[in-house]
Structures are given as structure tokens and as C-alpha cells.
């Protein structure tokens, strides 16, 4: 095929915006869905995109795609936070990294890679936890885009952004765009703090994996995962208790896999594989590069629309704010509006106590253990008190004083309808529940 030299030459000398011509086609004219009252085509839209400072949280499978997409969507000032270093297992889907980068911080390597490929973009990395930064740090950004694999981290940044909102300062409202994937499934959502439902409102959609009773593991397993958990929890302790299990050691994983496979064959249970053994033992969320790409693209499209108003975005007043993608059985996407909950402990109206089913015969220790698995709570290290007394506190001095309560029954410690105030050091929020005894 012949190449038109004149076309190539004109493209290379057409000025600094030649690279972004495909974006300018959208930003310099209205479209069929554009809100003409909020979209200012031409230089105003282009300058807004150029000046916008955006924070990306996470530089893993989703984060790599998000950083690349934002840079190629015209964002020039991007910051990224990630505390992890690069592992060999990341290289099959986190495409900004190479084998020589193993051991280096993800945020730094990803920032350098994208800056090198996309000229004119500045990416500032921070290698650490999101909890290291205060509200003043988050206040500088126009929006936050999350590519996290942790519900706990999502809840923390969500509560922080909701708490920052000052009704007298419109700039204090920072849109939060969140993406997540698991195998062939994914979701993208836009949260306008205090205006739309927040991550805490949607917490029950991310229920923790239920614990399997030891009796099931030891007697009659029903699923391949039960056989793997048996090898992990019971067989290892019986046969290799003098050796510390290293989940990154291939020999250890192979031993668990072989034990699990043999047990599965005894009970005629198919499906035990080496990769499944890795996933169960290390609690790995399965990841597929193409799913990451789809969800990251959705997140970045929403970021582009929010910043420029070129088209309505998820969460636009009185519109759907949640997009679900499923690719395990053909390809299906749909959007819906997740309703804001009045009793949400983070963004709810007032300080409403949520009803919480409690067994009066359960001990306080049982209740605390159950809080981690309850879809509406998911609190791993709670401190609990009523309006009058402390039931159990995690702080060093108070822990010893309140420890005797752990063996007492809930019916002895609280009354029907009494309010429980629960805090967890992982979240900048107080959770309020009303006790409802199970009959």
C-alpha cells in the first residue's frame, strides 16, 4: 500500500493538538445526547480536560488499563497511588510491567512507562497506602478513579470523600469512579458523594466469601474448594505441621493440589486444578485481561464525560449509576440506579441505627466473629459499646478490661432495641445498629 508522504508530513507539523484530533472531534461540537446547558464546545472543553488533575488508586490489572486510557483520553495531570511491588505473576495481564521490573513499585514503573509512551502527560506516583494521605491531599483532585481489589480500601476512600463534602464549597465534592472485576464479570459505577448512593450503601453487593464449617471439610466435602480447604487447613497441619506453609512456594502448592485432588477423587468431585488450588489458598480473585480492559474503558469514558460534559455520565441526576458486565455466558451489560439508603452509616440522612439480627444465646465473641461475614457489616476488628458501657474495645489498655465480656451471652449484655455503636480502625466512620433479637 502506498503511503502519502504529504499526509504524514502535514500530520507531524500540524501543531500540538494534532495528536488529539480524534478527541477534538468530540469536544468541539455537540452530539445527539449532549446537554447544551452544561457543555461548552471548543476551547473551554479542551482547556478543562488539559487542566484537570485526576487521581488513580491502584496500579494493578485495572490500574494499568486506567492509566493508559486516561493518558490517551487527553488528561495531562495524573497521580497514582499503589503500595505493592511487581511480582512475576502480574506480568500476564499488567501490561505496563516487564520481567526486569519485578520487585519495583508498581506506581513508579507504571508512571514512567505511560509518560514515555504518551508525550505531554505528567504522572506523579505515590508508593504507599491511601490512608497515608489526609483530606487536603484528596481535595486537590477533580475526581478519583479506583481500580482496587480490596473492599476495605474502597470503603475507606468512600467515607473520606463523603466526609469532605462541604455544602458551602461546591469544589469539595469529588466524583468517585470505581471499577472491579472477577473473572468474566465486572462493574463500573459513579458515586457523587452525598448525592448518589455510596459504596457503603452498596456493600451487600460485595458479600464476603462464607466460611466453610470444619465438620464439612473433615467429613463430607461437596465442592472442589472444600477439598482444597481440607488439604490447606487439616492435611497440612497433620502431615507437615513442622513446616510453615509458603503460598508462593510451587512445591507447597503442588503438595496441597495433589492432596486435594486425591480427596476429590475419593468423593467423586470433579474440578480440582492447580490454578484453583492457588486461588483458594491465596484467596486470589481470578482476573482476565480482556475483562479488565472492558471495565477500565467504561471507567475512563465516565471520567471523560464528567470532566467535559460532552455526554451524560453514569450517576447524572436521576440516571443509572451502576454498570454490570457479564461475559461468562455470552456478553451482557446493563445499567441500573442503585438507590441511596437513608440508614447508610456514611452518607445516610441523619444518624439512623440499622436493625441488626442478634442471637441472645450467642456469646459476644461469636457476635464479633460474625460481623466479619455479615454482608451489611464486614467489620474485622470492631470495638463495640452501647450508650452506657463498653462491651469490647480493641485498644490495648481497654482490651484487657473488656475481654471478660467475650464469653458472656449477648442477652446478658444488651437489651432488645438497644443501640450498638461499632468502630473499626480500618474505617473513619462510626456504625450504629439497633439490636433485634432472633426468636
Does 180 lie in the same domain as 90? yes
pLDDT of residue 9: 37
Over the stretch 131-177, which tens digit does the pLDDT of each residue have?
A: 999 999 999 999 999 999 888 899 999 999 999 999 999 999 999 99
Decide: helix, strand or coil at residue 314. coil
Does 48 lie in the same domain as 132? yes
pLDDT of residue 20: 82
pLDDT of residue 234: 92
Alpha-helical segments (H) within 36-105:
43-51, 61-72
Does 48 lie in the same domain as 82? yes
pLDDT of residue 250: 87
Residue 314 lies in a domain: yes
Over the stretch 248-292, which tens digit does the pLDDT of each residue have?
A: 788 999 999 999 999 999 999 999 998 889 888 877 777 889 999
Segments of the chain scoring below 70 in pLDDT: 1-17, 207-213, 216, 317, 350
Does 149 lie in the same domain as 254? no
Convert 166-203 to b/e letters by CB count within 10 Å (16 or more is b). eeeeeebbbbbbbbbbeebbbbbbbbbbbebbbbbbbb
Residue 394 lies in a domain: yes
Distance in angstroms (rounded) separating the CA atoms of residues 20 and 116:
17
429: Cβ–Cβ under 8 A, 6 or more apart, which residues? 159, 200, 345, 346, 423
Query: CA 274 from chain center: how many Å?
Result: 26
Last residue of a domain, one of 304, 336, 368: 336
pLDDT of residue 149: 84
* Residue 394 belongs to domain spanning: 354-437
Locus of grid cell 487527553:
74
Does 222 lie in the same domain as 200? no
pLDDT of residue 204: 82
Does 405 lie in the same domain as 263? no
Annotated catalytic residue, options 215, 299, 300, 347: 215
pLDDT of residue 212: 66
Does 44 lie in the same domain as 192? yes
Does 195 lie in the same domain as 136? yes
The verdict on whether 215 is a catalytic residue reads yes
Mean pLDDT of the chain: 89
pLDDT of residue 438: 86
Q: What is the pTM of this model?
A: 0.82
pLDDT of residue 5: 36
**CATH number where 162 lies:** 3.40.50.720
Residue 14 lies in a domain: no
Residue 292 lies in a domain: yes
Residue 19 lies in a domain: no
Does 274 lie in the same domain as 360? no
What is the tally of structural domains in the chain? Answer: 3
Residue 5 lies in a domain: no
Distance in angstroms (rounded) separating the CA atoms of residues 212 and 178:
30
pLDDT of residue 181: 93
436: Cβ–Cβ under 8 A, 6 or more apart, which residues? 355, 356, 357, 358, 416, 417
Residue 188 lies in a domain: yes
**CATH number where 235 lies:** 1.10.10.520
Residue 9 lies in a domain: no
Does 242 lie in the same domain as 161? no
Locus of grid cell 471523560:
304
Phi, psi dihedrals of residue 64, rounded to the nearest 5°? -60, -45
Q: What is the total residue count of the chain? A: 439
Does 291 lie in the same domain as 276? no
Which three cell numbers mark 250? 510451587
Does 231 lie in the same domain as 379? no
Over the stretch 238-257, which tens digit does the pLDDT of each residue have?
A: 999 889 888 878 899 999 99
Amino acid at each position: 500500500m502506498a503511503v502519502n508522504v504529504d499526509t504524514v508530513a502535514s500530520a507531524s507539523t500540524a501543531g500540538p493538538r494534532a495528536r488529539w484530533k480524534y478527541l477534538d472531534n468530540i469536544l468541539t461540537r455537540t452530539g445527539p445526547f449532549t446537554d447544551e446547558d452544561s457543555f461548552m464546545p471548543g476551547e473551554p472543553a479542551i482547556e478543562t480536560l488539559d487542566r484537570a488533575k485526576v487521581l488513580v488508586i491502584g496500579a494493578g490489572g485495572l490500574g494499568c488499563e486506567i492509566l493508559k486510557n486516561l493518558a490517551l483520553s487527553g488528561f495531562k495531570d495524573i497521580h497514582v497511588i499503589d503500595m505493592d511491588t511487581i511480582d512475576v505473576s502480574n506480568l500476564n495481564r499488567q501490561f505496563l510491567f516487564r520481567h526486569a521490573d519485578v520487585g519495583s513499585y508498581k506506581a513508579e514503573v507504571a508512571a514512567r512507562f505511560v509518560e514515555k509512551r504518551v508525550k505531554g502527560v505528567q504522572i506523579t506516583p505515590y508508593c504507599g497506602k491511601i490512608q497515608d494521605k489526609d483530606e487536603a491531599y484528596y481535595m486537590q483532585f477533580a475526581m478519583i478513579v479506583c481500580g482496587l481489589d480490596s473492599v476495605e480500601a474502597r470503603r475507606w476512600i468512600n467515607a473520606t470523600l463523603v466526609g469532605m463534602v462541604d455544602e458551602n464549597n461546591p469544589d469539595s465534592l469529588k466524583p468517585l469512579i470505581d471499577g472491579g472485576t472477577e473473572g468474566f464479570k465486572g462493574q463500573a459505577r459513579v458515586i457523587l458523594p452525598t448525592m448518589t448512593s455510596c459504596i457503603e450503601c452498596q456493600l451487600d453487593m460485595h458479600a464476603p466469601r462464607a466460611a466453610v464449617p470444619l465438620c464439612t471439610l473433615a467429613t463430607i466435602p461437596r465442592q472442589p474448594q472444600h477439598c482444597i480447604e481440607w488439604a490447606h487447613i487439616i492435611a497440612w497441619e497433620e502431615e507437615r505441621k513442622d513446616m510453615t506453609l509458603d503460598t508462593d512456594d510451587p512445591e507447597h502448592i503442588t503438595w496441597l493440589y495433589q492432596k486435594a485432588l486425591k480427596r476429590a477423587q475419593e468423593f467423586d468431585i470433579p474440578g480440582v486444578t492447580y490454578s484453583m488450588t492457588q486461588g483458594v489458598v491465596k484467596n486470589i480473585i481470578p482476573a482476565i485481561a480482556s475483562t479488565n480492559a472492558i471495565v477500565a474503558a467504561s471507567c475512563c469514558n465516565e471520567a471523560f464525560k464528567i470532566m467535559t460534559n460532552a455526554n451524560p455520565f453514569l450517576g447524572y441526576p436521576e440516571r443509572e449509576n451502576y454498570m454490570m458486565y457479564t461475559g461468562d455466558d455470552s456478553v451482557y451489560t446493563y445499567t441500573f440506579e442503585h438507590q441511596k439508603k437513608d440508614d447508610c452509616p456514611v452518607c445516610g440522612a441523619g444518624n439512623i441505627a440499622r436493625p441488626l439480627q442478634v442471637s441472645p444465646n450467642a456469646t459476644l465473641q461469636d457476635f464479633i466473629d460474625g460481623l466479619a461475614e455479615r454482608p451489611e457489616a464486614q467489620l474485622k476488628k470492631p470495638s463495640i459499646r452501647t450508650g452506657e458501657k463498653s462491651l469490647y474495645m480493641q485498644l490495648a489498655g481497654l482490651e484487657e478490661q473488656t475481654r471478660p465480656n467475650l464469653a458472656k451471652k449477648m442477652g446478658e449484655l444488651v437489651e432488645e432495641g438497644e443501640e450498638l455503636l461499632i468502630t473499626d480502625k480500618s474505617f473513619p466512620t462510626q456504625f450504629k445498629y439497633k439490636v433485634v433479637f432472633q426468636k
